[in-house]
Amino acid sequence: MTSNPTEEAEELDLIRAAQAGRRSAFEALVRRHHVRIIQLCGSLLGNQAEAEDAAQEVFLKAYVSLTRFEGDAAFGTWLHRIAVNHCLDLLRKRARRKTDSLDELVEREGRAIEAADLAARLLATLPEEQRVAITLRETQGLNYEEIAKVMDCTVDSVKGRLKRARETLEKSLRHFLSAGGV
């Protein structure tokens, strides 16, 4: 996220200009944030191929709602919130399609299962709010307060979600390793 005051002031100017309809200002904002948003989409979806398409839709949604951005949170936080909601929608749609359980996958593919696939499947076993919290913390490096803003919850909730996510992932990973995976 934006770190120093000069960058923040510069970003605020870009946001105001983009809200006033200056195309180049919005383009500059996309340039600033696109790598992190693509990475976030990739982490949440567990599918790199879909990450760019999802991120593209995120920026379009941001453009459409740009006039509603009032600057009470950082622009990056706001974009993260849009990205999280968009990816959760995609995941819910995807969840309707049946997939193999992790145990079925290990039985079928044995040790050949790829680390990225394993990560995606174990993360998918977490409740949404834990999955989002741990992804924002570990892959995006957001602090507790930023995560709370993105997820619209308290810092204490963030701590609880991270704790439960880590406990579950630890157990799942141990179970997977003892079953002979990776």
Partner 1 sequence: MAEMHDSEKLQAYYDGELPPVERARMQEHIKSCADCRHAVERWREVARTLLEPPILRPSDRFVAAVMEDVDALERPVAERAAWLPGWLVPSLALAASVLIFYLSLPSSIVNFDSETMLLSGDETQLAMVLGSQPPRPDEVLGLALEQQP
Among 14, 26, 54, 90, binds partner 1 (CB under 8 A): 26
Smallest gap from Cβ 54 to partner 1, in A, equals: 12
Smallest gap from Cβ 63 to partner 1, in A, equals: 5
Residue 88 lies near partner 1 (rule: CB under 8 A): no
Residue 16 lies near partner 1 (rule: CB under 8 A): no
Q: State the Cα–Cα distance between residues 55 and 82, nearest whole angstrom.
A: 10
Residue 83 lies near partner 1 (rule: CB under 8 A): no
Residue 137 lies near partner 1 (rule: CB under 8 A): yes
Instruction: Spell out, one character per residue from 35 to 64, where the chain touches partner 1: x when CB under 8 A holds, - when not.
Output: x--xx--xx----x--xx--xx--xx--xx
Residues near partner 1 (CB under 8 A): 23, 26-27, 30-31, 34-35, 38-39, 42-43, 48, 51-52, 55-56, 59-60, 63-64, 115-116, 118-119, 122-123, 134-135, 137-140, 143-144, 159, 162-163, 166, 169-170, 173, 182
